[in-house]
Amino acid sequence: MKIAVFGKKIDKLFFTSCKTLFKVLKNNGVEVIIYRPFYEFLLSTVKMKPEVDGFFDDDNPLPKVDLLFSIGGDGTFLHAVTYVHDSGIPIVGINSGRLGFLADISQQEMEVVLADVFNGSYKVQQLDLISLETDVDLFGKKNYALNELAITKRDSSSMITIHTYINNEFVNSYWADGLIIATTTGSTAYSLSVGGPIMHPDSHNFIITPIAPHNLTVRPMVVPNNVEITLKVEGRDSKFLASLDSRSEILDETVHLKVKKADFTINVIKLKGHSFFTTLRNKLMWGIDKRN
């Protein structure tokens, strides 16, 4: 088996578990390819030198592997997606801190999960992505997001107007601090924080969520993800910010944005005992009030 390991920085509380991870991989004869900046972090900060068989980074693309382990939180997982891209390589999200929606495997259950991985006792879930097309090709080959596209104002205190069309039919001009087009996976991220609904990852929809809209009657809207959404932004400040997950670029009001479902999916490993609803209860602390 050939496994890639991706990470950035990990908390001290995960140092021992990290050493255990590489020990288990070695004992099972796994060929390990590691993200070079993470390897350097392990050398300098964790004071460990894992036995690896190769590296990948921005200059050296990820080779074909059986799985990719993302070590960190949901932000690290989203960064890992940019290296997997359309290769179909399944991602295993191991959380080195608090429980995440994407990186949902805790360090306490890591060794049990590794045994399930080696035994093939897992399912692969396919997650839809969003893609963004602009006439200036701003994001290049990384013009996609697993969570959301966010259009927001920059330095000005004035709101912006986002004219929105679905399949070339005018829907609304959102006068707000910004607008989020989220996938169902992203429904528990930025969109949720500004009042968007929670969607099951297996439902194939987009969520259009305004950020602090001026009109109180303007609410989040769910649409099927087989539509094409066109956005045109204007405001007192001619510059605004477009973000795909954690990647942001500055655009001006002459740029039109076209949003649709990406033509590939991301494969995520789902293990026994893990479900979306269990993660919701734990992450959002539903039912923690003993009076319920």
Nearest-angstrom CA–CA distance, 96 and 80: 15
| Strand ordering across the sheet containing 54-56 | 54-56, 31-35, 2-7, 67-72, 91-95, 266-271, 122-127
Nearest-angstrom CA–CA distance, 88 and 34: 18
Nearest-angstrom CA–CA distance, 94 and 71: 5
**Does the annotation count 74 as an active-site position?**
yes
Tokens standing for 288? 């923690």
> What secondary structure, in 3-state letters, does 64-83 show?
CCCEEEEEECHHHHHHHHHH
As a whole number of Å, the CA-based R_g of the chain is 20
Nearest-angstrom CA–CA distance, 208 and 174: 10
Residues 6+ apart with CB under 8 A from 95: 72, 73, 103, 104, 105, 106, 107
Residue 187 backbone phi and psi in degrees, to 5: -65, -20
Nearest-angstrom CA–CA distance, 3 and 68: 6
Tokens standing for 239? 């510059």
198 touches 276 (CB < 8 A): no
One of 58, 66, 74, 86 is an active-site residue; which one? Answer: 74
Active site residues: 74
